[in-house]
Amino acid sequence: MLSLSALLGALGWAGTAVFAMAGALTASRKQLDPIGFVLIACVTAFGGGTIRDLVLDRTVFWLDEPALVLMASAVALVVFFTAHWVERRFVLLLWADAVGMALFAVVGAEAAYSHTGNAWIAILMGTITATFGGLLRDMICAELPLLLRKEIYATAAAAGAALFVVMTALGLPNTVAVCAGMCLAFAIRAAALVRGWSLPAYTARTN
């Protein structure tokens, strides 16, 4: 059976790849040059985890694995040369972002939970890890951040992180908790994309 560390390592690499692809797809929509592709891909892939590690006073994760940066850069360059083949890039961006969000929600929650043992911090850090890379990407590219759209996004990340923490606290196998949390986050986000789910927005009220 795959160990927890091996599973989290694989999820970290997968999450980095799909977030880098989402960032590069945004760069393609903005018609950036190859350096711009690499920059936006890396901001997307590493932004949330970097903030998490700085807040938790840990070594920033990609400094321990510089190969992640090379991989994210390679993904960005592949997208630079192939993005024109994709007819609906924004749709692909949304789904790539959904996969990355689900992966990093649990990876971030596990990192924080193992470091602090605090459930609320773990859920918050899981949500930040999953969403803040995309937030930084969209701010740099002058897009309305997915985090601020009406459709469900951060809520899905928080739900996945919370399920992981609850299952871990109940003593269930870590690998089961990781997979369950990831699947829940992705399922909620996927349903929001397909069905147009959103939380109620504030509407102005007259006195």
Residue 135 has a pLDDT of: 93
Task: Give 92's contacts (C-beta < 8 A, 6+ positions apart).
Answer: 25, 86
Report, as ranges of residue numbers, the positions in the chain whose pLDDT lies below 50: none
Q: Shortest CA distance to 180 belongs to which of 199, 198, 197, 160?
A: 160
Task: State pLDDT tens for residues 90-121.
Answer: 898 999 999 999 999 999 999 999 999 999 99
Alpha helices for 56-66 (secondary structure H)? 61-64
Provide φ and ψ at 198, rounded to 5°: -155, 160
pTM over cut 0.85: yes
Could you tell me if 148 and 125 are in contact, meaning their C-beta atoms sit under 8 angstroms apart? no
Q: Which pLDDT does position 146 carry in this prediction?
A: 75
Q: What is the pLDDT of residue 109?
A: 97
Residue 207's pLDDT is 58
Question: Residue 6 has what pLDDT?
Answer: 86
Q: Report how far residue 148's alpha carbon sits from residue 183's, in angstroms, rounded to the nearest whole number.
A: 23
